[in-house]
Structures are given as C-alpha cells and as structure tokens.
Amino acid sequence: MSVSVLGSGAFGTALAISLAGNGPVTLWARDTNHASAMKASRENEKRLPGVPLPDHLSVTTDIAEATRNETLLLAVPMQKLRSLLVEHSELLAGKTLVACCKGIELNTGLGPIAVLNKTLPSAKPALLTGPSFADDIARGLPTALTLACDDAALCKDLQQQLTTANLRLYRTTDTTGAEQGGALKNVMAIACGAVIGAGLGDSARAALMTRGYAEMQRMAMACGARPETLAGLSGFGDLTLTCSSDLSRNYRLGLAIGRGETFDPSVTVEGAATARAAAAKADEMKIDTPITQTVTNLVDQRLTIGEAVALLMKRPLKEE
Ligand SMILES: NC(=O)C1=CN([C@@H]2O[C@H](COP(=O)(O)OP(=O)(O)OC[C@H]3O[C@@H](n4cnc5c(N)ncnc54)[C@H](O)[C@@H]3O)[C@@H](O)[C@H]2O)C=CC1
Ligand SMILES: O=C(CO)COP(=O)(O)O
C-alpha cells in the first residue's frame, strides 16, 4: 500500500527516501517554489542537502493527490500539527495518520495523539518516534524507531508497512509513553547542551541526563505511561542520542545558551516550546520537574546558565 509524507522538512524527506525503498512514496510540500526546486534538482537542498531523491519518491504540492493514499505520515513541527490538520481536515478524515513530530502543544499541553484525536476523531492515529537523525536515515544508516498506536492490530500492520531496509520499527500500544519520551528528551537536550556550552563538563551532563530521565519518567507515568516505554527507544534511546550529539538542534540551542551566543530562530527546535508546555502542565499536576522549569527559564532568558546551575545545586537534598 502506498504511503504519503506530508511535510518536506528534514525528517519528512528522510522518511520518504527510506520508504521509497519499499515502493512508491509521495512527498507533499506546501511551498510551490520548494517543490519545484526539489523536482528540478532531485534533492532537498534546503532541508537535507547532499542526498538524492530516489526514483520511487514523487514530490507534489497537490494535497488532494498526496492524501489519496491511506497511510499518511505527518512530518511537521508539533506546534504546527493542529493547523495542518484543520486546514486539510476533509481530505485527512478517516485516514491512518502517523504523527512524526515530537513535542507537547504549547496552548493545550496535549501530545500529538491527543491533538489528532481531538481534531480528527474519524482518523486512525499513530506515532513514529525514537532516536533518529534525518541525515542518518536519508543516508541509509541503520536506525531503530518506536511505532505507537492504541490499536494493536493496526500497529502490527503499520510496522510491516513502514519498516524499511534501514528503519527497524518496534511497536507499542503505549502512545502516552512514546510521545512523552520524544517530547521531553528535547528539553533535557537543551539543558545538556547548555552545561557543555558553558564548559561545566561531562559529569554535569551525565547528572542532567540521569536526573532528566527521572523527570521524564515521573511526568510520563503521571500521564499514564508505562515505565518500560520510557526505558525504550522513544525515551532512553532518544535521550542519549539527542543529549550527546551536535547533530541535534535542541542540543545546539543549549550550546548557544551556555556560550551566551544567539541562535537562528528559523531552525526548528521543539524543546523550547515543549519546555514551556511541560512546565505549565507539571505545575497544574503538582509534579516536581526542576530541570524542565530551569530550561524554561533559560530559553526565556530569566536565568543565566550560572544562576540556573547554582539553583539546581542548592536544591534540598533528597533520596535518589
Ligand atoms: N530533523 C531530524 O533529525 C528529526 C526530526 N524529528 C521531528 O520531525 C518533526 C519535523 O521536524 P523537521 O522535519 O526536522 O523540521 P524542518 O524544520 O526540517 O521542517 C519542518 C517542515 O514543516 C513544514 N511546515 C511547517 N508548518 C507547516 C504547515 N502548517 N503545513 C505544512 N507544512 C508545514 C515546513 O515547511 C518544513 O518543510 C519535528 O517534530 C522533529 O522533532 C524527529 C526525528 C528526527
Ligand atoms: O529528534 C531528533 C533525534 O531523535 C532530532 O533532534 P533535534 O530535533 O534536536 O535535531
């Protein structure tokens, strides 16, 4: 069964390239000029330069054409997901929609699955997340991802359909755990980048990764997640990748904060909005999330990295 990817950014393009190894894939771009450039050069020079688009991958700006397929991957930033669904609701109704975004919606505190369910109740929602850089996927490097869907049978079908030569998918019905892991790991990556950028060392990063993982577990389980999900690819796996690589935009934002440098606002960094959304949600639920709260203060420039670290170090002592 053919697949379409909506969103011609780095991740959407990389997924389309990998899936094209299974058969025909349609990549939908909303921007006409961007689509024309990709059709002419057979490359996404803007978002994924240096990787040719395979023959089975066709680019279109025609949303009606792109949504003829039953399975649609939604590869837009989390804060743009709802607008995509609302704008094309009639064509997306009843389809199998696989959200490929990581984050928590700023003004509702909802994750991708809940946004899909509330916006398009007739659709069949799923989530694709886990430790994966678009560049690695596009270059055919081996990658493992978590495919989450409440419907176990549909999840199994999608796992067969979306697994490729270099994408090995593991399935789960714990959509809450999968989306919380993918969202919150970006917050921790900003924190880790900030301490490295400030020259505070790898031990400080290890402390933040470990205590950040504890915060992710606490928050996710309070939302109903299963602990083993956070210990898997979508949580622990993506946390370790994103907190330790310059390929991560969230980590690079943290580096810039730590160094006192500016960061290009046009670059997609999910962790900033997600930190604000998660901090507000944690306050409402009375959950202790000191690192998330600190990252919110860092990205909103209410604290310097020095002040932030000093406050974290002076917190009341407790059991691990
Ligand atoms: N880049 C990567 O290595 C990975 C990214 N992801 C996730 O993929 C999601 C998308 O990020 P990237 O592709 O990396 O970002 P990107 O910045 O490369 O591309 C975002 C794309 O979304 C499009 N877009 C934005 N608003 C839209 C709308 N309302 N309707 C249609 N298209 C719209 C933009 O035109 C752009 O093509 C994020 O949630 C990210 O966390 C997940 C794994 C890896
Ligand atoms: O989600 C990702 C890796 O799994 C991509 O990370 P960034 O969004 O930080 O670039």
Single-letter residue type at 57: L
Q: At what angle do helices 175-197 and 305-313 cross, to 10 degrees?
A: 110
- The tens digit of pLDDT for each residue in 36-81 reads 999 999 999 999 999 999 999 999 999 999 999 999 999 999 999 9
pLDDT at 247: 98
pLDDT at 134: 98
Q: pTM of the entire structure?
A: 0.98
Residue 218 and residue 224 in contact, taking contact as beta carbons nearer than 8 Å: no
Which ligand has the minimum distance to the alpha carbon of residue 241?
2
What is the distance between the alpha carbons of residues 189 and 314, in angstroms, rounded to a whole number? 22
Q: Are strands 48-52 and 43-44 parallel, antiparallel or unpaired?
A: antiparallel
Share of the chain above pLDDT 70, in %: 100
Which atom of ligand 2 is nearest to 11's Cα?
A: 5
pLDDT band for position 2 (cuts 50, 70, 90): confident
Average pLDDT of the residues of the chain: 98
pLDDT at 289: 98
> Is the minimum distance from the CB of 7 to ligand 1 under 6 angstroms?
yes
Residue 13 has pLDDT above 80, yes or no: yes
Residue 281 bears catalytic tag: no
pLDDT band for position 224 (cuts 50, 70, 90): very high
Q: At what angle do helices 202-222 and 270-285 cross, to 10 degrees?
A: 50
Could you say which DSSP state residue 138 is in?
A: H
What is the distance between the alpha carbons of residues 175 and 154, in angstroms, rounded to a whole number? 13
Q: If you take atom 11 of ligand 1, which residue's CA is the nearest one?
A: 77
- The tens digit of pLDDT for each residue in 150-203 reads 999 999 999 999 999 999 999 999 999 999 999 999 999 999 999 999 999 999
H helix count then E strand count, the chain = 16, 10
DSSP 225-246: --HHHHTSIIIIIHHHHHTS-T
User: From the centroid of its chain, how far is CA 130?
Assistant: 8
pLDDT band for position 232 (cuts 50, 70, 90): very high
Which ligand has the minimum distance to the alpha carbon of residue 75?
1
